[in-house]
Amino acid sequence: MIKLYNTMTRRKEIFKPREGNKIKMFVCGPTVYDHSHIGHARTYISFDVIVRYLKYSGFTVFYLQNITDLDDKILKRAEELGSSPLELARRYEEKYLQDMKVLGVENVNFYARATEHIPEIINQIKILVEKGFAYETDKGVYFDESKFKDFGKLSNRNLEELNVHRIGPDTSKRNPGDFALWKKRKIESDELEMVWDSPWGTGRPGWHIEDTAITDTYFGPQYDIHGGGLDLIFPHHEAEIAQMEAASGKNPMVKYWMHTGFLNVKGEKMSKSLGNFITINDLLQEYSPDIFRFFVLSTHYRSPIDFSQEILQQSQQGLQRIYKLIETINELLDENTSISMDNDQEYIYKLSEIRKEFFEAMDNDFNTPSAFSTIFDIIREVNRDINDSNISKNALTKLKALIIEFGIVLGFDFSLKNKNEPERQEDLIELLKDVRNKLREKKEWDLSDEIRSKLKEMDIVLEDKST
Amino acid sequence: MIKLYNTMTRRKEIFKPREGNKIKMFVCGPTVYDHSHIGHARTYISFDVIVRYLKYSGFTVFYLQNITDLDDKILKRAEELGSSPLELARRYEEKYLQDMKVLGVENVNFYARATEHIPEIINQIKILVEKGFAYETDKGVYFDESKFKDFGKLSNRNLEELNVHRIGPDTSKRNPGDFALWKKRKIESDELEMVWDSPWGTGRPGWHIEDTAITDTYFGPQYDIHGGGLDLIFPHHEAEIAQMEAASGKNPMVKYWMHTGFLNVKGEKMSKSLGNFITINDLLQEYSPDIFRFFVLSTHYRSPIDFSQEILQQSQQGLQRIYKLIETINELLDENTSISMDNDQEYIYKLSEIRKEFFEAMDNDFNTPSAFSTIFDIIREVNRDINDSNISKNALTKLKALIIEFGIVLGFDFSLKNKNEPERQEDLIELLKDVRNKLREKKEWDLSDEIRSKLKEMDIVLEDKST
């Protein structure tokens, strides 16, 4: 039984999809105007593990993400770089998908581009205008926040509180918090790209409408889970609720709202202006994807997480302890020596308890740090018993299987099978070079030349420093 | 500009999705009651390449497949094996997904299980009853073929022709061709599994209704492409059209119907009773997935294809010629010798022509055999020029890039990068063993022991026959 924290109700609830064991889940995708950063990586790895666990628990998940490929940021950046906005968006979209693949984020079923849902967006705006929730001005079409009584229910603020935070009065709007559904093209400007015809003239959609147009298309007006970063609750997710519930008349749009905490860099917010902006590219120059995944999962997905070299190195060490244990187990299983069976029954029981604890931690709002600590508890114990030669091959085999299973749930390959292959190949080549050098010292030219030519057949060319 | 053959209009049409460049495509998935066979593999590899090419041509494809997990065949087989029908279905579903993964079929966005869409199925049947297209009897709910004027439009037969082929009069039905939407549980029987409550009592859906309930859920009542094997046109796809167009009042349900030809084994239909039934498992014992993919794509997807050892061996040879060329190019590029540049301009032009021909072939209803012949044309020519040392490194590099690009479109990895790694490792180990044996003959114990112990560190244990 999975319990998850619902931002809407501000408490943990027993998870039950709207229909049978089918889950329809949407997570806000990136605006593709620049390289993705480690904050994105944190969010998408967190939801990747959540989806992995939901599937592992027997649910079917339709995981949908949007790709924001028509934002003002894209236009601005395209102008800076002197490229076409759409080409720029496609380039960064591809980069994003590559980054996700490298990070092992692979459970999204469909990526829906905003630019490919303009008719659906226009249709939703039309409905909102017809129902009186939206109005047209010289500048565009706006959602009238005063018409939607539930406005603010997710962030738990009333209209007055909400409006205090809005900057600058826009005289064309009825209320300060009204937000754009459609932005009309400025007549004086020379915008020729990323504009579409609509009943309100040429222009482009506002920031919030693509998500609800997309979810309505693939899920209908009501679905199970909506996820995203904490910073999206207000105004973005409030606006989504207003748009969809007003348009459909159905309530609630989403049964469970899930939000990931902030990622800070050495205690500070990550931002370009602070100069502490770290892209996924930057990250992967220094650390492997599994170290970063371990780092992300060492903190609960809703808590803030602090990125620093020290913590990443701790993550590396933590992960290394797991790999090391599997290596040790493999070695022990390969050896012919028999090891004590004294505490075998005890271990079988202990492992089933560990498994229970692991899944209890995951059931408890996907508490990955707590799931990891069950792994480290057993590692400590097993290492001691290995040192005392006090654990059987049977228990070791079962432990290995258990850790591999935990890896599957969390997105790690603890089987170590393919992992070592490229490394091993390097080691084999090194050994051959070494042997060959020793043969050359001994003036065993026949054999050393044979090694050289056989390696050449494998496209491995040895360069001799001096002959 | 892609032209594709539409079974509905019986001619090639210029392909244009219903909306922008978004394609909604549905292909009938398997009934998961047994291992998938090579006929399935042919169909799904064909659609895999079609989707790859559509994506390569700039379209976005939402590729949906159903999983039939509630069929009578599943119940029968579960009874034979003494297992639970749902567990059996899940097991064969997993096997199917593994088979597809091994075959490189990886473009399906979402697999929708019939058992997880019972409310949608019941809802669609309700609409059909309400609109007068379906009626209830003692045995179930039937679609009344006489009420749907377009019945037979896909297979191009009229009702009389259609009904000639129906076996046995069922007195509870109004017309011989009426088909079941809901099958009531037999009172006398002890069926307890795979039955659901409905407005027409406990029972299960008929054969055809899951597909339209599923496509309506994710695509709405109208979408772009529906694919499947040729044998599904009648009655299955006719029934789908009747259900969806009658329920929605919208027409046509599908813009383009695509059907793959039959796969025969040595000229005969493949069937369990003929003993020539080949599963994907069986296949992969003998041939690698890329050889089978090459075999499938060597025939046009709509033509019948004949499976025999001889043809598979020809496929292996064909594929080998491509791999061999890439290997040769890699060797030539590694060499320091310079090769003639005389015909460089000519080659650059020729390669751009080849690329054009390849994509023209693919644009022409995905004519993969014709696309392959462009590859073999250039291979013949290049091999001749390589023998005459009459081709530049520049041309070879461009040719290699071109063939890798073709491979991406068709689902082959012609880059040969990872391909050789495990093989190479084997080769390295063999070389070390060989060197060590020679050292032992020479009684060079130090070095031979060093090789042995270093290999052991890499978990590679050498067994000496005699010491």
Cα separation of A275 and A272, whole Å?
5
Q: Smallest Cβ distance to A62: which of B110, B444, B447?
A: B110
Q: What is the distance in angstroms between the Cα of B103 and the nearest Cα belonging to chain A? A: 19
Mean pLDDT for the stretch of residues A131-145: 96
Contact: A425, B421; criterion CB under 8 Å: yes
CB-nearest partner of B435 from A110, A429, A435: A435
Give the residue with greater pLDDT, B210 vs A449: B210
Residues B425, A429: C-beta atoms closer than 8 Å: no
Q: In chain A, which residues have their Cβ closer than 8 Å to the Cβ of B331?
A: 459
Residues of B contacting chain A (CB within 8 angstroms): 19-22, 60, 62, 109-110, 113, 116-119, 218, 330-331, 334, 421-422, 424-425, 427-429, 431-432, 435, 438-439, 442, 444, 447, 450-451, 454-455, 458-459, 461
State how far the Cα of B296 lies from the Cα of B105, in Å rounded to an integer.
13
Q: Which residue in B413, B376, B401 sits closest to B289, CA to CA?
A: B413
Which residues in B lie closer than 8 A to residue A60 (C-beta atoms)? 113, 116
Provide the percentage of residues in chain A whose pLDDT is more than 70.
92
Distance of CA A46 to the CA centre of its chain: 5
Residues in chain B, total: 467
| pLDDT per residue rounded down to tens, chain B (467 residues) | 999 999 999 999 999 999 999 999 999 999 999 999 999 999 999 999 999 999 999 999 999 999 999 988 999 999 888 889 999 999 999 999 999 999 999 999 999 999 999 999 999 999 999 999 999 999 999 999 999 999 889 988 776 666 655 555 567 899 888 999 999 988 656 667 889 999 999 999 998 999 999 999 999 999 999 999 999 999 999 999 999 999 999 999 999 999 999 999 988 888 877 888 899 988 988 899 999 999 999 999 999 999 998 999 999 999 999 999 999 998 888 886 666 677 788 888 999 999 999 999 999 999 999 999 999 999 999 999 888 888 888 889 999 999 999 999 999 999 875 444 556 777 888 888 889 888 888 888 888 888 888 887 776 777 665 44
Question: Cα–Cα distances in Å, from B30 out to A286, B36, B68, B265?
Answer: 45, 8, 6, 20
What is the predicted pLDDT for the residue at A26? 98
Q: Domain boundaries in chain B?
A: 3-260, 317-410, 420-457
A79 within 8 A of A321, measured Cβ to Cβ: no
Distance CA B454, CA A84 (A): 56
Give B-chain residues touching A19 at CB under 8 angstroms: 116, 119
Least confident among A191-195, A215-219, A422-426: A422-426
| Residue A453: per-residue pLDDT | 82
Q: Is the ipTM of this complex over 0.90?
A: no
Assess if CATH 1.20.1250.20 describes domain B3-260: no
Amino acid A1: pLDDT? 94
**pLDDT score recorded for residue B333:** 85
**pLDDT for position B390:** 83
Q: So what's the pLDDT on residue A467?
A: 41
Give the pLDDT score at A420: 46
What does R_g of chain B's alpha carbons equal in angstroms? 28
Give pLDDT tens digits for A250-294: 999 999 999 999 999 988 888 877 888 899 988 988 899 999 999
Residue in chain B lying closest to A450 (CA): B435
CA–CA dist B333, B327 (Å, integer): 10
User: How much is the pLDDT for B162?
Assistant: 62
If one counts every other C-beta atom within 10 angstroms of the C-beta of residue B376, the result is: 13
Element (H, E) at B331: helix B309-334
CA dist A126 and A213 (Å) reads 12
For A280-330, write each residue's pLDDT tens digit: 988 988 899 999 999 999 999 999 999 998 999 999 999 999 999 999 998
Q: What are phi and psi of A165, to 5 degrees?
A: -85, -5
pLDDT at A276: 85
Interchain pair A20, B118: CB under 8 A: yes
* Separation CA B419–CA B431 (nearest Å): 20
Residues belonging to chain A with any Cβ–Cβ distance to chain B shorter than 8 Å: 19-22, 60, 62, 109-110, 113, 116-119, 218, 330-331, 334, 421-422, 424-425, 427-429, 431-432, 435, 438-439, 442, 444, 447, 450-451, 454-455, 458-459, 461
Q: Which residue of A has its CA nearest to B437?
A: A447
What single-letter DSSP state applies at residue A152? T
Half-sphere exposure in the Cβ direction for B383 (13 Å, CA): 13
Contacts 24+ apart (CB under 8 A), B413-421: B413/B290, B414/B322, B414/B323, B414/B326, B415/B326, B416/B323, B416/B326, B416/B327, B416/B330, B421/A421, B421/A422, B421/A425
| Cα angle for residues A70, A74, A75 (degrees, 5° grid) | 90
* Residue A435 to residue B447, Cβ atoms within 8 A: yes
Token pair belonging to A163: 């409006």
In this prediction, residue B95 carries a pLDDT of 94
Instruction: Tell me whether residues A451 and B435 touch, CB distance under 8 A.
Output: yes
Q: Which residues of B touch A431 (CB under 8 A)?
A: 432, 451, 454-455
What gap in Å lies between CA A443 and CA A446, rounded to an integer? 9
Question: How is domain A284-410 classified at the CATH fold level?
Answer: Isoleucyl-tRNA Synthetase; Domain 1 (1.10.730)
Packing angle of the helix pair B393-410, B368-387 (nearest 10 deg) = 160
Peptide bond into A289 cis (omega under 30): no
* Contacts with B334 from chain A: Cβ below 8 Å: 459, 461
- State the Cα–Cα distance between residues B353 and B459, nearest whole angstrom: 51
> The tokens 């009747």 sit on which residue?
B242
Choose among A20, A431, A454: nearest Cβ to B454: A431
With 80 as the cut, is the pLDDT of residue A106 above it? yes
Asked whether A48 and A105 are in contact (CB, 8 A), the reply is yes
Output the pLDDT for position A55: 94
Cα–Cα distance measured from residue B452 to residue B440, given in angstroms and rounded to the nearest whole number:
11
Burial per residue of A99-116, b for 16 or more beta-carbon CB atoms within 10 angstroms, e otherwise: bbeebbbebbbbbbbbbb
Q: What percent of chain A has pLDDT over 90?
A: 67
Q: Which residues of A touch B21 (CB under 8 A)?
A: 116
Which runs of consecutive H residues, i.e. helices, occur in A298-444? 309-334, 344-363, 368-387, 393-410, 420-441
Q: How far apart are CA B61 and CA B186, in angstroms?
A: 42
